[in-house]
Amino acid sequence: MSTVIFKQAAYHYPDLYPVVSQMLDALSGAISWNQARVLIKPNLLLAARPEKAITTHPLIIKAVVEYVQRRGGQVHIFDSPAIGSMDKIETGGGYRAVLHDLGVKFKAFSSQVKVDIGEPFGRISMAREPFEADVVINLPKLKTHSQMLLTLGVKNMFGCVIGLEKPQWHLRSGVDRGLFARLLVQIYQAVQPPITLLDGILSLEGQGPGKRGTPRRLGVMVGGNNALAVDAAVCGMLGIEPDRLFTNRAAGQMGLLDFTIDLRGETIKAPGFILPVLGSLDMGPKPLHKFIRKHFLQKPVAERHLCKLCGECWKYCPAKAITPEDEKIRFDYDRCIRCYCCSEVCPHGALDIVEPFPGKLMRKLSGLR
């Protein structure tokens, strides 16, 4: 049985540190912090102010760093941002101002190692640094995700896949969300961080995980030794059946999800949390896929007045489905695999996800969510 702890919290350091500290005390188990090389893996998707709720809040990272340093551990903070340098993220995300006196710097994962994560993926390239640390602390943000419903503890470990390997995995998984979820679970299992502390104080609902999402204050931190259990418990808090989350479903099929969770701390519910609409990506008979994709499936659409033609979306798109053309961007929706990486990385929040009217109507009539 896995233990998951819920605590009410706010971004007020004198109150936050004791909350984080109590949770880490409860989750430390046999970890010996003294002299340990501790790798913290937050969600540092891109340079975004904390009030945008896209990245793990600087005060949470500060509290964890301080906790480990007080016990004699050596802290290193790593991630592989989708766009921008770590320098930009440290400054633009408000981290430098908060963390400067603790003597820690953010680093991008830079060296790779082949790791066998099991069938059907086999040996894949992952960041070496998590495998060289004594302890990995997983610090995800509670956000919606337009492809995978939510990004929580398990999905945060996808950041241990570096740079362009990430969009390549989106491409290899294609429109098969189940396969991609399985990949995420197996990557999580390969790293097995012994502690996950999820920042749900200011969460992101609607069209996350990038700048199209809407911040929503939930005032909660959720911690556990097993991120699969943390994710399942968060679904419970949000009023969602756990197997609506693709990673939970994949873990269940792999026999990894134990639904007998020992819930501790406060009882917190977050009714009315707005989830993204997820359409099926390959519905209908095969000869009609092209037609259905065009007229029924939701798709990324650029808002011209917001698009600065910066190129981040077409550089990142795994399917090479975006091209600049006549001062605007053009999508090839036949190629597009609806991974929404473009919306995730757009620094200007210019990419909306739009469901065509026939698709919306059909979904309503068929009672699908």
Residues between 272 and 311 with contacts to ligand SF4, criterion CB under 6 A: 300, 302, 307-311
The residue from 27, 89, 190, 317 that contacts ligand SF4 (CB under 6 A) is: 317
Q: Which stretch binds ligand SF4 (CB under 6 A): 176-184, 215-223, 249-257, 333-341?
A: 333-341
The tokens describing 221, both together, are 């931190």
**Closest listed residue to residue 343, CA positions, set 309, 312, 310:** 312
Question: Per CB under 6 A, does 312 bind ligand SF4?
Answer: yes
Beta bridge partners of 7: 221
Between 7 and 46, how does the x/- string for binding to ligand SF4 read (CB under 6 A)? Answer: ----------------------------------------
CB of 222 to ligand SF4, least distance (A): 29
- 99 contributes a contact to ligand SF4 by CB under 6 A: no
Q: Which is nearer to ligand SF4, 41 or 299 (CB)?
A: 299
The least distance separating ligand SF4 from the CB of residue 60, rounded to whole angstroms, comes to: 28
Distance CA 222, CA 140 (A): 10
DSSP 82: S
By beta-carbon proximity to ligand SF4, the closer residue of 90 and 344 is 344
CA separation for the pair 330, 337 (Å, rounded): 15
Spatial separation of the C-alpha atoms in residues 124 and 226, rounded to whole Å:
23
Partner residues linked to 40 by β-bridges: 77, 137
Range in contact with ligand SF4 (rule: CB under 6 A) among 56-64, 67-75, 88-96, 315-323: 315-323
Distance (Å) of CA 29 to CA 5, 35, 346: 14, 16, 40
Report the candidate in 340, 357, 245, 263 with the shortest Cα–Cα distance to residue 302. 340
Among the listed ranges 107-115, 175-183, 282-290, 341-349, the one in contact with ligand SF4 (CB under 6 A) is: 341-349
Q: How many residues bind ligand SF4 (CB under 6 A)?
A: 27
**The dihedral formed by the CA atoms of 366, 237, 216 and 87, expressed in degrees to the nearest 10:** -110
Choose between 228 and 350: whose C-beta lies nearer to ligand SF4.
350
- For the chain, how far is it from start to end, CA to CA, in angstroms? 31
180 contacts ligand SF4 (rule: CB under 6 A): no
Rounded to whole angstroms, the Cα distance separating 21 from 57 reads 16
Q: Does 346 bind ligand SF4 (CB under 6 A)?
A: yes
The binding site for ligand SF4 (CB under 6 A) comprises 300, 302, 307-313, 317-319, 321-322, 329, 331, 336-342, 346, 348, 350-351
